[in-house]
Every structure is written in C-alpha cells, then in structure tokens.
C-alpha cells in the first residue's frame, strides 16, 4: 500500500510547535502579528484570507486586517503597505492576489519590507534563494515548496540523487521548488516542465518524484507514472460534478495513479495545509529574528 503523505496531520503537529514558540515570544513581551491586505470582494480571496486569520487564532498570532474597495487607487494600497512596514505589531503580511486589473501587482509586492514577506516571494528573498546554493537561507522562504519539503522529510523520503519532474512554472512553486530541491543537502536533480516542453509525458515516466502544479485536473495519468514514484499534487481545479450538482476540487494527478506510487499527497489534505502552516512559520520566525 502506498504511503499517504498526510499534510493535514503534520500541519496540526507543526501548529502545536508554533503555539509553543508564540508563547515563548509572548513571555518576552513580543506577540507575532500577521496582516492581510485584501482589495475588492473576490469570494475566493475573502475565504482564503479568513482561513489565515483562523489559523492565527489557533496558534496565538495576532491578526491584522486591512481591506480596501476594488476601486481603490494603487497609491491607496501603497499607503497601507508603508503603514504595515512601519508597524512593529506586524511581523509579517501578505497582499492577497489577484489584485484589481488597474493595479501593478509587481510594483505593489516590491514595496513590501522583505523581512515581513510572509509569502517568501519578494524579489529580494527569491534572490537570496538563488544565491545560497548550500541552502543556508535566513530570509523568508516560499511557503508551498517549503511545505512540500517539510512533508517529504517528515515521512523519511530522501531526495538525494532522485530525478524530480516539476509540472508548471508558476512563481508560487514551479520556479522555486527546483532551487530548494537542488540545494546542497537535498541534492535532487530537477526538470521543470511547462507548456513549451517537448514530450512532457516522457519526462514524467522517468521521474522518481512528480510535483504537479499545472492547474489541469487529472493531467497526470497512470501511464505517466513509473512504479514506486512519489506523487506530490499541488494543483487545484474546481470541476463541476454532474451527479452532485456542485463543484468539487480536483488535483492535477488522477487518483488512479496512487496504486502505482510509493507515496502520494491527497488532494485536498496534502500540500494545502502545509502551505498554510509554513506561512505562519514565516511570521513567527520573523518575530524571533527581530528579537534576537
């Protein structure tokens, strides 16, 4: 039977550790604070942000909410970012994407203080990730790939010498996980596949590990997977279920692949909870660094 890489269970354990770290900080007069900047009324974004604040409450992190109407100007958002950069009660924050189309998202994200970059995606922090081939990075790291590595490590899955095929070149994981997996001490060999890759399926069939983050429900089929592979499903697609007359969440890896795998992440319940807990970890770590 394949090993189920249970991100939900592991994230609960990590939250307990975070609760203890937050208590230690509070004892020294410091309360970590996570801020969210939400522009507009996108239902998915609002739900995502609400989940972040529930997570904060669970471990004792203070919540700071900043909400602006969709017709706000870019300068309005920049002013909020400047305020959070200067606010000592905010040890980390995120600007929820997508932003309204009239805004320059990259310029707004660039304005974030890199030390308070809870997502770990500020250009400075990404640059640190590129520079440190030894993996000794002391700046916030991207939450999703950090969560994947933490999950694999918890289940004793070694990546040294393994062939890893990553599907998707998005900044959230596709373009960053290769840097983390190929760092010294991890030592995987990573192939990044995308829409311009010739014969993606051949790359998948050779891989010891497939990290699927292309956003196409069921893209990875059993014929794409070699026996004993490790399957990491990062994709999230909402697919209409005719029988139940509602949308259901599907990953990029067809569940039929699990029978061939050595280990796999369920979706939902695998990578998602790990992403959320690693964001909390970035916030708490930032508070610890500021205190040191």
Distance CA 68, CA 77 (A): 8
- Residue 106 neighbours by CB under 8 Å, 6+ apart: none
Give the sign of the dihedral formed by CA 65, CA 290, CA 60, CA 50: positive
User: How many helices, marked H, and strands, marked E, lie in the chain?
Assistant: 9, 11
Tell me which H or E stretch contains 22: helix 7-27
- By DSSP bridging, strand 92-95 and strand 33-39 are parallel
In whole angstroms, how large is the CA radius of gyration of the chain?
19
Query: Do the Cβ atoms of 280 and 60 come closer than 8 Å?
Result: no
Active site residue 241: no
Indicate if 226 belongs to the active site: no
Among 135, 111, 138, 137, CA closest to 123: 111
Active site residue 119: yes
Q: Look up tokens 């010498």; give the residue.
A: 161
Angle at 120 between CA 115 and CA 122, to 5 degrees: 75
Q: What is the dihedral of CA 267, 268, 273, 275, to 10 degrees?
A: 50
DSSP sequence for 119-157? TS-SHHHHHHHHH-TT----S---HHHHHHHHHHHHTT-
Q: What is the dihedral of CA 77, 116, 237, 268, to 10 degrees?
A: -140
Residue 158, helix vs strand vs coil: coil
169 has binding-site annotation: yes
Provide the annotated active-site residues: 52, 96, 119
Annotated binding site for NADP(+): 168-170, 236
């Amino acid at each position: 039977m394949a090993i189920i890489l249970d991100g939900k269970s592991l994230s609960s354990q990590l939250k307990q550790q975070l609760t203890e770290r937050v208590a230690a900080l509070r004892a020294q007069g410091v309360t970590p604070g996570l801020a969210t900047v939400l522009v507009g009324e996108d239902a998915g974004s609002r739900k995502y942000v609400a989940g972040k604040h529930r997570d904060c409450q669970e471990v004792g992190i203070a919540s700071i909410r900043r909400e602006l109407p969709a017709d706000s100007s870019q300068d309005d958002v920049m002013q909020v970012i400047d305020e959070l950069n200067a606010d000592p009660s905010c040890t980390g924050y995120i600007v929820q994407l997508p932003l309204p189309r009239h805004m320059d998202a990259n310029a707004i994200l660039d304005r974030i203080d890199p030390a308070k970059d809870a997502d770990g995606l500020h250009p400075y922090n990404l640059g640190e990730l590129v520079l440190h081939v030894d993996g000794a990075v002391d700046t916030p790291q991207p939450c999703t790939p950090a969560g994947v590595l933490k999950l694999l490590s918890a289940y004793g899955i070694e990546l040294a010498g393994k062939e890893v095929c990553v599907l998707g070149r998005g900044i959230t994981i596709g373009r960053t996980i290769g840097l983390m997996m190929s760092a010294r001490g991890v030592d995987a060999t990573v192939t990044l596949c995308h829409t311009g890759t010739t014969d993606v399926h051949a790359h998948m069939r050779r891989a010891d590990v497939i990290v699927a983050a292309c956003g196409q429900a069921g893209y990875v089929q059993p014929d794409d997977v070699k026996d004993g592979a490790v399957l990491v499903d990062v994709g999230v697609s909402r697919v209409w279920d005719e029988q139940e007359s509602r949308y259901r969440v599907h990953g990029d890896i067809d569940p039929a692949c699990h029978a061939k795998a050595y280990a796999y992440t369920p979706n939902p319940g695998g990578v998602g909870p790990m992403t959320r807990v690693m964001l909390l970890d970035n916030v708490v770590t930032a508070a610890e660094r500021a205190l040191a």
